[in-house]
């Protein structure tokens, strides 16, 4: 007789390989979109932290450079704008003075400087931008999303008694 070589090949293996490929091709875009969305949210979180820290630094500089005025010390808007422009090229900063509680030691009112810093953070991925704009239509545009930080700090002044 003749010798035959018989191979044990499981049936349907070629079809299963194609099925896995199709499943990967269907799931991969959704998975990548999820990964990129997480990265974009992380980037926005980082930018929010940087913006708040920048507003804090602007408030510190403004509180130290305030000049004497009644009833509150006056914050120099030029100092506020210049400090903001040194930190961020696209930032809009505004500062105002607010009276708080009376100071029994000095016999006058305490004053705080309130700094509002606005920045627009660019969206890097267009598909993510659609989701961000749908989630927050008032603060997100096609160019980016607006981050606003408001910081309040006491105005530093010497004791005059």
Q: pLDDT tens per residue, the chain (161 residues)?
A: 677 776 665 665 555 668 888 888 899 998 988 898 888 888 888 999 999 999 999 999 998 888 887 677 888 899 999 999 999 988 999 999 998 888 787 777 888 999 999 999 888 776 676 777 777 777 777 778 889 999 999 887 776 65
Identify the CA nearest to 70 among candidates 104, 101, 102, 108.
Answer: 108
Res 46: pLDDT: 93
Helices (H) and strands (E) in the chain, counts: 3, 3
Q: Please state the pTM of the whole predicted model.
A: 0.75
CB neighbours of 101 closer than 8 A, spacing ≥ 6?
109, 110
């Amino acid at each position: 007789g003749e010798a035959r070589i018989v191979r044990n090949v499981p049936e349907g293996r070629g079809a299963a390989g194609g099925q896995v490929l199709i499943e990967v091709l269907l799931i991969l875009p959704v998975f990548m979109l999820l990964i990129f969305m997480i990265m974009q949210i992380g980037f926005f979180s980082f930018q929010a932290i940087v913006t708040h820290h920048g507003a804090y630094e602007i408030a510190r500089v403004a509180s130290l450079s305030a000049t004497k005025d009644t009833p509150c010390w006056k914050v120099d808007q030029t100092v506020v704008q210049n400090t903001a422009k040194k930190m961020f090229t696209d930032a809009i900063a505004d500062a105002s003075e607010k009276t708080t509680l009376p100071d029994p030691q000095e016999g006058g009112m305490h004053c705080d400087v309130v700094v509002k810093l606005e920045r627009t953070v660019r969206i890097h991925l267009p598909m993510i931008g659609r989701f961000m704009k749908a989630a927050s239509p008032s603060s997100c545009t096609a160019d980016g999303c607006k981050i606003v930080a408001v910081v309040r700090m006491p105005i530093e002044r010497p004791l005059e008694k």
